[in-house]
Structure 1
């Protein structure tokens, strides 16, 4: 598993097998697999047989109108808390610990009764910044926004898009989410700035 091309990874993405690589900086080992601990670029050192994830050093400011990717960290009453990892169109990372919120009224064009039916902690979402100051507010209204990578609430494995829901083949269950039309299609490439 040697990759010469830079590949962006999200927290939790598998970057290698423990029998092939040593878990390096920015990674962790779980059940014989090496996973990314944070958003960044996966690098493989063939000499040391080490897989690591390098955080992206340059900093990008988040502005109103930006399209961002982030991890749902918590759900509180009528709000989801998202940790922003990346601004679309930029090869640079954002400042560490940038938190934003998605109010229940900014989830979907449809009426949203329960936030827990739309996002699960750990889901990766694509959202638009509707307010940048004093706090960052996001919206997932529109078909292009919502969950782009979801995990099963039972086993935490990647879910597949099937029948307008997310499906876990391991648990044989379907779960509702506010799913982006880009679910499973997002390919992030490093851009030269």
Structure 2
């Protein structure tokens, strides 16, 4: 998975990210256990909370294996409405679509500067 870095947590007012704004999450770093289908863990447009595990080369390598990491904001893949969390599923209040992600317990609880 290739992600664009938006901000460093706790540094909203500091300078821009100095290195490449692209980072990667290898399939083995998404979550503990077997990942059968990456598209059930992340989708285009998701905002993800991740931790840097290697920054010596480009792209920067991230992990979302920790329990507090994962998707913190997601839009419906059908109608682009913000999804609401119900247990371990995400439900679209507009079209009723049900989706899955590698969710963070901070889903829709963090302020992110776009």
Determine if the TM-score, normalized by the shorter chain, exceeds 0.5: yes
- Aligned equivalent of 2:27: 104
Show CA shifts across 1:16-51 (max 9, x none).
Answer: xxxxxxxxxxxxxxxxxxxxxxxxxxxxxxxxxxxx
- Relative to the length of structure 1, the TM-score reads 0.54
What is the RMSD computed on CA atoms of the aligned residues?
A: 1.6
| Runs of 4+ deviating beyond 4 Å | none
Aligned counterpart for 2:49 among listed residues 114, 126, 133: 126
Number of aligned residues: 110
Residue in 1 that maps onto 2:111: 187
Secondary structure in 2 aligned to 1:130?
Answer: strand
Mapped pair 1:115 → 2:41: no
Q: Which runs of 5+ in 2 are unaligned?
A: none
Report 1:161-172 matches (<5 A). Answer: 161-172=85-96
Kindly indicate which of the two structures has a greater share of residues assigned to strand.
1
> 1:81 Cα shift?
0.4
TM-score (norm 2): 0.89
Please tell me whether the aligned partners of residues 2 and 24 of structure 2 are also in contact (alpha carbons under 8 angstroms). yes
> Which sections of structure 1, spanning at least 5 residues, go unmatched?
1-79
Compare relative contact order (CA 8 Å, sep 6+) and give the higher one, 1 or 2.
Answer: 2
